[in-house]
């Protein structure tokens, strides 16, 4: 993944440099350097943050740590004044969108989420299958286990899409997003590990519903929106499904 990304960045830099040259913008080389710099790496790194103190103030389903720190300011050698923040600690998590090209269907789950307790529509959210990593297991192993628990589906080769921070403003959770082609059941059902308080409804949905679902307000969390945007691109060339021409960009 890393090598592929680096190769793409180098290719992009070469293409931009060629375009600038053809346009006679050789004096804009500094712009190109700045663009490529922020694409390939952040402006600062860990050495530009000074931790003044940290204190664990709560440990339950999540952990909360009070952190005092200061960090470098952009375009300056100075640091910020001391900042105090509560950092929510959560285990890494992984999720997968299950889809079936043969049946032209995909799977979503529905379950109660306390984080959506005050949602104006409903705290029962439509999601992809997901769960936290158990111990030192890999994201792929986690996904294979969770798919079995939450849908009864067996997957063997989940494809990595993205790894990201869902809410970096206050939480250190890292989420690994995957897609997985599998043979879906003809209809959904009720799943979940009873001892973990899970009560999960599996929904099997036609490919033709993807576009309208993305345009609706029913989806309220980032992983499912990102996953369905990926699925829309995956099936975009299927004229018999979405009515989109194969040559449409």
CA distance 249 to 236: 9
Q: Compute the radius of gyration of the chain from its Cα atoms.
A: 22
The Cα 48–Cα 89 span in angstroms is 22
Q: Which helix (H) or strand (E) segment is 176 a member of? A: strand 175-181
The β-bridge relationship of strands 93-100 and 175-181 is parallel
Hey, CA dihedral for 146, 150, 152, 157, is it positive or negative? negative
Phi/psi of residue 77, nearest 5 degrees: -90, -10
- Under the phi-then-psi rule, with left for phi > 0, alpha for psi from -120 to 50, and beta for the rest, what region is 24? left
Q: In which order are the strands placed within the sheet that holds 49-59?
A: 49-59, 63-71, 83-89
Instruction: Please check whether residue 52 is in contact with residue 37, taking contact to mean a CB–CB distance below 8 angstroms.
Output: no
Q: Looking at residue 221, what DSSP letter applies?
A: S
Compute the distance between CA of residue 59 and CA of residue 75 in angstroms, rounded to an integer.
38
**173 marked as binding residue:** no
97 CB-contact burial (10 Å; exposed 0-12 / middle 13-18 / buried 19+): buried
Does 206 count as an annotated binding residue?
A: no
Binding residues for Mg(2+): 130, 146, 150, 198
Binding residues: 130, 146, 150, 198
């Amino acid at each position: 993944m890393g090598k592929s990304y680096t190769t793409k960045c180098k290719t992009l830099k070469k293409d931009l440099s060629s375009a600038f040259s053809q346009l006679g913008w050789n004096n804009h080389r500094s712009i190109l350097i700045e663009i490529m710099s922020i694409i390939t790496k952040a402006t600062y790194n860990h050495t530009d943050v000074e931790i003044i103190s940290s204190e664990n103030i709560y440990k339950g389903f999540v952990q909360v740590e009070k952190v005092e720190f200061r960090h470098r300011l952009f375009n300056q050698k100075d640091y910020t004044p001391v900042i105090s923040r509560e950092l929510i600690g959560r285990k890494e998590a992984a999720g997968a969108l299950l889809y079936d090209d043969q049946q032209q269907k995909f799977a979503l789950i529905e379950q109660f989420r306390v984080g959506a307790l005050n949602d104006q529509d409903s705290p029962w959210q439509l999601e992809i299958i997901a769960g936290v990593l158990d111990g030192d297991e890999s994201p792929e192993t986690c996904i294979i286990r969770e798919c079995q628990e939450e849908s009864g589906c067996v997957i063997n080769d989940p494809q990595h899409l993205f790894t990201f921070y869902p809410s970096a403003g206050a939480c250190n959770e890292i989420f690994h997003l995957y897609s997985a082609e599998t043979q879906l059941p003809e209809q959904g059902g009720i799943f979940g590990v009873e001892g973990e308080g899970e009560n999960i409804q599996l929904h099997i949905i036609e490919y033709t519903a993807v576009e309208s679902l993305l345009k609706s307000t029913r989806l309220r969390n980032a992983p499912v929106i990102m996953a369905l945007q990926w699925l829309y691109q995956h099936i975009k060339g299927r004229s018999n499904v979405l009515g989109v021409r194969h040559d449409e960009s």
